[in-house]
Chain A
């Protein structure tokens, strides 16, 4: 008797491994894979504790992600042009300290915002100049800037500590991060809106402006882009400036959220930002990826962070595993990126 459950000749049962590879590696966009991942995580954490699904928890998740989300936008531009910026966390910290400093000196909120954006632009420009004009490797450059900014943050913070001036009291300033919509029900934090608007605007820029298309062109094939008349140095430079400004923006929002400006703000955040961007499908090789994948993976990382807190409360897994998980996800993300690149290379193997 024929075995009706066996695959017929010419068919093959698709194995789980192959299905996985199909979604994560061979798909054109990472978005479906990320959505699957997000879904799985939500289900997993929900199984650990029903508290996961409450609205309060949801608010907790989304109020923690703006910082990473904002920096991820800048990092996306940088990685799209084929570079890297590991100084973002330190620029954030330096900005935070300056907010406190200027606040103490009595500057009004709007001027603090302007000055801090200027700081971000300054660091970004510095990175940009060293990388594009002098030609130093981006990682080493931003490694140096990272130390520079963090050192300056600690240095400036010395004054603050001695005068105990970390706290911010200016309501106008605090409100940039503390408003909720609608006012009474306190449903959606304003930072959520910032992130949505930023991502929508930047996505439009990347897709619909010449500048955005040039960013992709430079990342895809810098030589060809230059031949076509695109000022590749300028494009790369602008990406680093963007990254710097996003970092300082994130710094301001962080201070407003905590009402505290400390020199260790953003310590280690560059790791999360890079993870979010690479996991989101922006290839380290440059020229590929978009912000949709990035925002989803920022959400994934936020869910994981939140979930681990719950894990500690219920199962007792130490919260300190968070750093380990962060590093592991980064390596996982770049492995997926490498596998995707390899799959494309294999497809393009030509007879020579």
Chain B
């Protein structure tokens, strides 16, 4: 009695997998022989739909990034309204010219990214490769300037922690008043966290662009399929937008006094 059902059921899974295998083979063959493109996945009706789905997914990810940085910006706004004078004094100790240079560098890199996407759209492989390399070079310049800024802050003992020191720094708008070192330390903590996480995003971006460069070198991108270039570009532009806000908020508080 016990052996009977098993002997009857045993061929079932085999036949199921055989059917599944057959389906898979048919599926693979129909994909390989698809006349339009090899890159169209079987669960999309058209390449148009596939591209839109990728864009939508990327934008959903960027929306989570907006909320992620939004929390930091919120913390910054609250402490800035509470300790405005201390924040202004601390902000003045950062080199605004370096911040402005970095803003210009990132804006130029956004242009090279958009040109890279255009090159991929119009099947210009050499231009695509040149633009990807230029973008990465500009990204490295940004990180280099950032490194110099961090080094200066370490030398001045403006890094929050045991050796932090911010004594006898006048508050810009109030003569005779000195910034509270504890409050200035909050500014520098926010400065290092926000620019640090931004720099981390830049490093991730450089990784993505290295991969894009390899793919472009191998000639994987066509006017029909350049989704990775476009998605990498969206990421890069987003990181640029974060910096567009970080620059005036961190570097340009009460500069005029």
Report whether chain A binds chain B: no
Q: Which residues of A pack against B, CB within 8 Å? A: none
Residues of B within 8 A of A (CB): none
